[in-house]
A and B are shown apart, each in its own frame.
Chain A
Amino acid sequence: MGYRLVNSLLTLVLVSFVSFAAVEFAPGDPAEMLLGGASKELSAEALARVRAAHGLNQPMWKRYVGWLKLVAGGNLGVSLRTNRNVTAEFAARIPVTSAVAFGALSLATLAGLSLGVFAVIYEGRAVDHAIRAVVVACHSVPAFLIGLLLIYLCSFKLGWLPLYGVGGGSGLVLPVLTLGGIMGLSLARVVRNALLEAVHEEYFLAALGKGLSYPQAVLRHGLRNSLTLVVSYLGMRFAGLLGGVVLIESVFSLPGMGSYILEAILGRDYPVIQAYMLFFCAVVLAANLLADLLVRGIDPRAAVAGIH
């Protein structure tokens, strides 16, 4: 575990450096941007004054360290567009995004486990094949297209849900369904395959021998052993889920972090993009560590196997 922690911290340092350097080398003079964009009317004197005021005339490494200190204290910088603190802007946007992401994760876990168990109990029969067919169909196009299809069917044709926006929570239903459903379906396949391996293990045969019915044995003995796989799979897919959230928020016009970064990109709001990179990498690294911890909690053998 200590090894993983050190590795994640090193990765985070690397990311912080890359995101700092990326903004440093991005086109455009930050001093000009602070004065409202490049124009011939900006005097050299005004530029020099702004550079001195914001410490832009110091060497890069000094500014990097200064920036790191600020970030460590929870100050992610100031947005060029709104002049507000990025941390505050993030805080306003995070609730929607985390609602979508955690909703999708919960739905995926529930759907994945139950469908996976179904597929194993009815292995080789219609349910099993149907799940496989839906999985393949849902994964043959990017998730945002499924989102568009759901908007068209459920919101436009049937009028059940709002076409865009949060709409008092009902607007979150389709985004969660899109992301969580798709992830849940692939998880169902993972669970199915893991359970099908488990049913050939001796402990499973012993459980059947003691008189448990097949479904009972799957639920009590097979499932527990496949839980580690579920957690590590969800951990592995978490980064992809956050990528999907950007697309899905844009499709459903949700005011979360995903639409925020697109606005920031349109407005060339470098400090926001920089903070965004660092923030999401930190979130993903933390999620991976958490998944690791959970796996160890569920299955003590993993702790032994995890030592390199």
Chain B
Amino acid sequence: MPRIAYAGGTIVVLFLLVAVLGDSVAPYPAELTDYGQILAQPSLRHPMGTDHLGRDLLSRLMAGTRTTLGLGLLVAVLSSALALAIGALCGFAGGWLDASLMRLVDALLALPGFLLAVCFLGLFGGGVFQLVLYLVLIGWAQLARIVRNEVAVARNLDFITANTAAGYSTARNLFRHVLPAVLPSVLVLLMNTLVGDIFAIVSLSFLGLGISPQIPEWGTTLFDARSFFLASPWLFAFPSALIGALTLGLHLLADGLREHLDKKRFLFAVEEINLLAGTASACGSETA
């Protein structure tokens, strides 16, 4: 396993730990206001300073890690699961079902997903459930396309043909042999999707859409900071640094894993994965 994968993995695990432990290790409760310490500069008492209500920024961001990373993971896992189901169906079944679902994927891929999410949140109102729903709905298509191609390659491998000749059922071939074979690719893609999903969540709550500003979340912290960031630059410097660190960790982990799995020949549609994952990590994610 390449060293960058371990480096990235360490960063990601640290963030996961903060997300899980969150408020129990934070120096202050996330909601605690201290009107004597409004917009205080970073100091020993408040390592990242305080916001316009005198809330400790470090504690707020630690609590926010759970929301941002947790929701990002939820969106990434749900869209990967949907993509896996539809991709596997299309890749394995082929025929008119494949053709028509892939046309739908084409249509979704051609549309401005982020703008659609903005419009839907505007029409039906914000909320955690809606946010997750819209992000999954606009996010699954790209993954499904790749999963489908992976499955289409995997199902024509010799050992699957041998299985069929040996009388294995379609379901057994699909669930026991083809799907496990494409899981490594899905894992790599999931990590790259996660970065895009986190960016989308942060961006939407920065616009005041999606998550209610009362909930501690990296984007809502930035939303709160909008009116004060010129005089109190730490209010956007620290959240940005956290987002940057997590993104870096995820990209390193994804790159390392991709390299490792590719070397072991665990990835089939390598070109496509490289195109998506490679441009995502070398060039950043598609979202905003």
State in angstroms the CA–CA spacing of A60 and B207 once bound together.
Answer: 33
Tell whether B59 is near chain A: CB-to-CB under 8 Å. Answer: no
State in angstroms the CA–CA spacing of A156 and B230 once bound together.
Answer: 7
Q: Is the CB of A144 within 8 A of B206?
A: yes
State in angstroms the CA–CA spacing of A132 and B283 once bound together.
Answer: 9
**Shortest distance between the CB of A71 and any CB in chain B (Å):** 16
Q: Is the CB of B288 within 8 A of A142?
A: yes
Q: Is the CB of B284 within 8 A of A186?
A: yes
State in angstroms the CA–CA spacing of A244 and B199 once bound together.
Answer: 11
| Interface residues contributed by chain A, number (CB under 8 Å) | 57
Interface residues of A in 252-300 (CB under 8 A from B): 261-262, 264-265, 270, 273, 276-277, 280-281, 284-285, 288
Tell whether A104 is near chain B: CB-to-CB under 8 Å. Answer: no
State in angstroms the CA–CA spacing of A8 and B107 once bound together.
Answer: 7
| Interface residues contributed by chain B, number (CB under 8 Å) | 45
State in angstroms the CA–CA spacing of A285 and B124 once bound together.
Answer: 25
Q: Is the CB of A11 within 8 A of B111?
A: yes
- Report B87-130 CB contacts with A as 1/0, cut-off 8 Å: 00000000000000001001100111111101111111100000
Contacts between chains A and B (CB distance < 8 A), count: 147
Q: Is the CB of B287 within 8 A of A243?
A: yes
Given contacts A135-B282, A142-B202, A152-B229, contact A265 B209 (CB under 8 A): yes
Tell whether B266 is near chain A: CB-to-CB under 8 Å. Answer: no
Q: What A residues does B202 contact at CB under 8 A?
A: 142
Given contacts A142-B202, A264-B122, contact A242 B115 (CB under 8 A): yes
A positions within 8 Å CB-CB of B: 7-8, 10-11, 14-15, 19, 22-23, 26-27, 132, 135-145, 148-149, 151-152, 156, 163, 182, 185-187, 189-190, 237, 239-240, 242-244, 246-247, 250, 261-262, 264-265, 270, 273, 276-277, 280-281, 284-285, 288
Q: Given known contacts A22-B120, A246-B118, A265-B121, what 5 new A-B pairs fall within 8 Å (CB)?
A: A132-B282, A152-B229, A152-B230, A261-B119, A262-B207
